[in-house]
Structure 1
Amino acid sequence: MLRDALRAAGIADVRTDSTSRALYSSDASLYRVTPQAVVCPAHSDEVAAALSVCRERGVPLTARGAGTSIAGNAVGPGVVLDFSRHLNKIVSVDPESRTAVVQPGVVQGALQRAAAPHRLRFGPDPSSHTRCTIGGMIGNNACGSRALGYGRTSDNITGLRMLTAAGDELIVGQGQSTLPVLDELTAIARAGLSTIRTQFGRFGRQVSGYALENLLPESGFDVARLMAGSEGTLTVLTEATVRLVCEPAHRMLVVLGYPDIATAGDATPAILEHRPTACEGIDSRIVDIVRERKGPRAVPPLPDGAAWVFVEVVGDSHTEVEDRAARVGKSCAATDFLVVDDPVQAAALWRIREDGAQRAGPTRARGLGGCRRPARATRCLPARFRRPADRVRRDGNALRSFR
Structure 2
Amino acid sequence: MSHYDNSPLKTRIGDSRLAQKLSRSIKGEVLFDHFSRGRYSTDASIYQIEPIGVVIPQAQDDLTTIINIASEEGIPVLPRGAGTSQSGQTVGLALVIDVSKHLNQIVELDTAERTVIVEPGIVLDQLNAQLKPHGLFFPVDVSTASQATLGGMAGNNSCGARSIRYGLMRDNVLTIDALLASGEQAQFGPIGPGKTCPREPEIYRQLTQSLIELADRESDEITTRFPKVHRRVGGYNIDAMLPPALQQREQNMAQLLVGSEGTLAFTRQLTLRLQPIPAHKVLGICHFSSFYQAMESTQHIVGLAPDAVELVDRTLIDLALDIPIFKDTLTRFVQGEPDALLLVEFAGEDPTHLQKHLGDLSTLMADLGHPGSVVDIVSPEDQRSVWEVRKSGLNIMMSMKGDRKPVSFIEDCAVPLEHLAEFTGRLTRIFEKHGTRGTWYAHASEGCLHVRPVLNMKSPEDVRKMRSIAEQAFSIVREYEGSHSGEHGDGIVRSEFHPIMFGDRMLSIFEQVKETIDPGGLFNPGKIVDPPR
TM-score range, shorter chain: over 0.9
* 8 Å contact from structure 1 (residues 11, 49) kept in 2: no
Which residue is equivalent to 2:295? 265
Task: After superposing the two structures, state which structure 1 stretch, 329-338 or 42-51, moved more.
Answer: 329-338
Give, in whole Å, the separation in 2 of the partners of 1:211 and 1:274: 30
Amino acid at match of 2:50: T
* 8 Å contact from structure 1 (residues 281, 310) kept in 2: yes
Structure 1 residues 364 and 100, CA, compared in 2 at 3 Å: closer, same or farther? Answer: same
Secondary structure at the counterpart of residue 344 of structure 1: helix
Q: Pick from 205, 221, 238 the counterpart of residue 195 of structure 1.
A: 221
Is the counterpart of residue 72 in structure 1 residue 88 in structure 2? yes
Question: Deviation at 1:367?
Answer: 6.9
Which residue is equivalent to 2:445? none
Give, in whole Å, the separation in 1 of the partners of 2:113 and 2:406: 48
Which residue is equivalent to 1:286? 316
* 8 Å contact from structure 1 (residues 287, 356) kept in 2: no
Which residue is equivalent to 1:56? 72
Which residue is equivalent to 2:524? none
Question: Deviation at 1:295?
Answer: 4.8
Is the counterpart of residue 38 in structure 1 residue 54 in structure 2? yes
Give 1:3-402 correspondences, 5 Å limit: 3-173=19-189, 177-178=200-201, 179=204, 180-200=206-226, 202-218=228-244, 219-293=249-323, 295=325, 297=327, 299-300=329-330, 301-304=333-336, 305-332=338-365, 333=368, 334=370, 336-361=373-398, 363-365=402-404, 374-390=413-429, 392=431, 395-396=436-437, 399=452, 401=455
User: Please, what TM-score do these two structures have when normalized by structure 1?
Assistant: 0.92
Q: Per-residue displacement from partner, 1:282-301 (whole Å, max 9, x unpaired)? A: 21222333343555536433
Give, in whole Å, the separation in 2 of the partners of 1:202 and 1:296: 37
* 8 Å contact from structure 2 (residues 86, 408) kept in 1: no
Question: Deviation at 1:120?
Answer: 1.2
* 8 Å contact from structure 2 (residues 176, 188) kept in 1: yes
Give, in whole Å, the separation in 2 of the partners of 1:375 and 1:160: 27
Give, in whole Å, the separation in 2 of the partners of 1:373 and 1:309: 17
Give the fraction of aligned pairs with identical amino acids, expressed as a percent: 29
5+ long unaligned stretches in structure 2: 1-16, 191-196, 440-451, 458-533
Give, in whole Å, the separation in 1 of the partners of 2:46 and 2:324: 22
* 8 Å contact from structure 1 (residues 34, 76) kept in 2: yes
Give, in whole Å, the separation in 1 of the partners of 2:328 and 2:112: 39
Give, in whole Å, the separation in 2 of the partners of 1:131 and 1:373: 20
Q: Per-residue displacement from partner, 1:116-160 (whole Å, max 9, x unpaired)? A: 112111111111111111111101111011001100011011111
Q: Per-residue displacement from partner, 1:183-233 (whole Å, max 9, x unpaired)? A: 222222222122223333632111111111111121322111111111001
Give, in whole Å, the separation in 2 of the partners of 1:360 and 1:385: 18
Structure 1 residues 234 and 249, CA, compared in 2 at 3 Å: closer, same or farther? Answer: same
Structure 1 residues 291 and 75, CA, compared in 2 at 3 Å: closer, same or farther? Answer: farther
Task: After superposing the two structures, state which structure 1 stretch, 85-94 or 296-305, moved more.
Answer: 296-305
Give, in whole Å, the separation in 2 of the partners of 1:92 and 1:372: 36
Which residue is equivalent to 2:470? none
Structure 1 residues 223 and 236, CA, compared in 2 at 3 Å: closer, same or farther? Answer: same
Amino acid at match of 1:13: E
Amino acid at match of 1:137: M
Question: Deviation at 1:66?
Answer: 0.8
Structure 1 residues 372 and 383, CA, compared in 2 at 3 Å: closer, same or farther? Answer: farther
Structure 1 residues 49 and 369, CA, compared in 2 at 3 Å: closer, same or farther? Answer: closer
User: Where do 4+ consecutive residues of structure 1 move more than 6 Å?
Assistant: 366-373
Structure 1 residues 177 and 260, CA, compared in 2 at 3 Å: closer, same or farther? Answer: farther
Give, in whole Å, the separation in 1 of the partners of 2:380 and 2:420: 30
User: Please, what TM-score do these two structures have when normalized by structure 2?
Assistant: 0.71
Give, in whole Å, the separation in 1 of the partners of 2:52 and 2:39: 12
* 8 Å contact from structure 1 (residues 108, 133) kept in 2: yes
TM-align CA RMSD: 2.4
Structure 1 residues 401 and 112, CA, compared in 2 at 3 Å: closer, same or farther? Answer: farther
Higher relative contact order (CA 8 A, sep 6+): 2
* 8 Å contact from structure 1 (residues 154, 225) kept in 2: yes
Task: After superposing the two structures, state which structure 1 stretch, 386-395 or 274-283, moved more.
Answer: 386-395
Structure 1 residues 261 and 92, CA, compared in 2 at 3 Å: closer, same or farther? Answer: farther
5+ long unaligned stretches in structure 1: none
* 8 Å contact from structure 1 (residues 365, 397) kept in 2: no
Give, in whole Å, the separation in 1 of the partners of 2:316 and 2:411: 20
Secondary structure at the counterpart of residue 72 of structure 1: coil
Give, in whole Å, the separation in 2 of the partners of 1:370 and 1:252: 33
Secondary structure at the counterpart of residue 272 of structure 2: strand
Give, in whole Å, the separation in 2 of the partners of 1:24 and 1:197: 38
Give, in whole Å, the separation in 2 of the partners of 1:359 and 1:54: 40
Question: Deviation at 1:57?
Answer: 2.1
Give, in whole Å, the separation in 1 of the partners of 2:324 and 2:97: 33
Give, in whole Å, the separation in 2 of the partners of 1:30 and 1:345: 34
Amino acid at match of 1:55: S
Task: After superposing the two structures, state which structure 1 stretch, 11-20 or 361-370, moved more.
Answer: 361-370
